[in-house]
Structure formats: C-alpha cells, structure tokens
Structure 1
C-alpha cells in the first residue's frame, strides 16, 4: 500500500507517544527522591541526636512517597487509556506534550510542598494546581481521541462513558485538596491516597446508573 505525506501527517501510531511517556515518567519518578535531600549533620552529634535529625525528614519522605504514588496512578491510567487509543495525529501529540510538561514538573512541585507546604498556603497551591492541570489535560486527551475517532472502533458506548467518568476522579481530588489546603495545609494532600477508592466508587455508582 502506497503512503503519501498527507496520510503520514494525518494518521500516526501511538508507539512513539507511549515510549516518550514511559521515559518521562521514569525520569520524573526517579527525580522525586531528590526532594528528600540529605541533612547537613555535624559528625560531633551523638547517635540519638543523629537519629533526631533524620526523623525531621519524615514530612519530606511522606511527600516523596505520595507523589510517587500519584505518578504511578497517572502512568497506570495512561496505559489503560492507550489500550483503547489506536491512532494518533499531530494534535494528540501536542496534547500529550503539554500533559508531560505537567508530569515533569512534579519533582519541583513536590520539593516545594515538602519544604514549605506546612507553612505556606502558596506552596500547596503550586502542588495542587500542578496535579489539577495534569488531570485536566488527561481528560482533554481522551475526549479529543474519542471525538476524532482515534480509539478502537470496537469499543462500546458503556466503556466510553465509564472512561469519561473515571477520568474525573483525579481533578476532583485536586480541587478538594486545594480547598482543604486553606485549613490543614500540607495534610490536605493525603486525600490522594484515596484516589483508587474514589475512582472505584465513581465507576460503581455510574455502572448502577447505567443498569437501573
């Protein structure tokens, strides 16, 4: 089958997107560990004083683990999304580039909230908005792929609608965490631990609505 420039520019495979996504996630998830840092501890400290200095790191360790958990969830959901997305085009690639921009920003926003999240509301805003825009662009990616017919032709309407609803879970949690940040600062980010449960609840309720 002959291929011309127009057809190549219009229809593209998703393999290069998935390869880039895996690479960016691998780098971002690895760089997260730098948000912990090693404390500058004097060698003249006693063993107990040394342990106390290390204990001070626990908020940063918590932020690291939380961000790693969130990125792992994004990667898992992206894998699920591209199971159904079979073709690509220049616009879909551009949407994914902007999404990966938000993903690559995670080590920075994680370090900000780890260092200042317990003191400054603005630090929490940076972290929560980073996740909100990542979640929003993720929804945009799916909506565009469906609208342009880039998904598997055999996907049924129920699966399409279920994906639309489940994609709302992370942006919704981001807005909830942003609101809670005003009252409990960095502790508000713990709501992301409930993401799998929250997503499952949304899917179950929607399935009941479809079956009723």
Structure 2
C-alpha cells in the first residue's frame, strides 16, 4: 500500500485535515517528528497545541530517527500511521547529522556550513534522501496505511541566509520525491483541501 501526502502552508489546516483522513481507523500511531533537541519556547507551544488537538485514543511516538525501523517493528499493531511533519523531521535530521559531524553547537553550524563546498552539501542531501527512501519503501513493503504531512515551502518567504535558501531548496526536492511516490496528494489552502493527485 502507498501513502497519502498532505501539503500546505503554515496554519493552512493540513494537520487537522490529515487527522480527519484517519478518523475511522481503530488504532493509529501518530509519529510526531518535533522532538525537542534544543530548547525552543515557541516550538514547545506548537507541540502542546498539536498534542491537545489529536484524538486521545491515538498512540504518539515522538522521533525523527529510524522511523522506518519503528514502522517495521509495529506494522502489525496499528491500522495506520500519521507522520507530522516532513519539514520538522528533515530539519531535525539535518542539524543532527551536521552537529554530529562537526561536534559543535547549534549557534556555530550556520557559519561553518556557509564554507561547505557543493560536494560537501550534496553529501548531507544524500543522507536525508536516504532516510525518506527507507521510510517510503517500508510503508510499501509492510502494506501500511499512512498519511504524511509536509509544508509547501515554495509558497513562503525566501530565507535571508545561504543556509536557509539551500535548505528551502532541499525541502522542495524532498516534497517532489514524496509526491511522486504517493498514491494521493492533497493541497490544503485556508482549511480547504484540494486533491491534486
């Protein structure tokens, strides 16, 4: 079985719509990728809002690493998975990989990354794509029903920094890959879902 991809801008209603797609499933695992590796008051408030909004009966697994392994281990336990969201998972994964390689703190990462060559940047892009390929492959191999939520980053502002612009391009490529592999794709605008695939 393939998955459904739901995209849209910030506060477009994509998460609520995604949850509605699984309202009739008996057991749902909500994979929340907003794992707090670094203190962030604003993000913490967003996480709490999402926690309160989702159905109490759903199980929540908070992680952004080894999601494919988690699905393999639990695919017989849950009727469906909701992964929310691609943007945060990719962000967490990128900073996790970079901080591990550089052995430095978050504040210095942007300065160091600015001096990376195109080849060095492609290495990180390859690692991130590898994770998404493992997730989509696992969903299909385990015949799992899944909904994946992402942000339509091309509709937002152009970031001021070179790292931000590179990362926006990377997210756009990830979204294109996920949309190509998905069985269905919805674009949510002002709380109204439009089926585009």
With structure 1 as the length reference, what TM-score do the two structures score?
0.28
Q: Which has the higher strand share?
A: 2
Which of the two has higher C-alpha Rg?
Answer: 1
Q: Which has the higher helix share?
A: 1
With structure 2 as the length reference, what TM-score do the two structures score?
0.30
Answer 1 or 2: higher relative contact order, Cα 8 Å, separation at least 6: 2
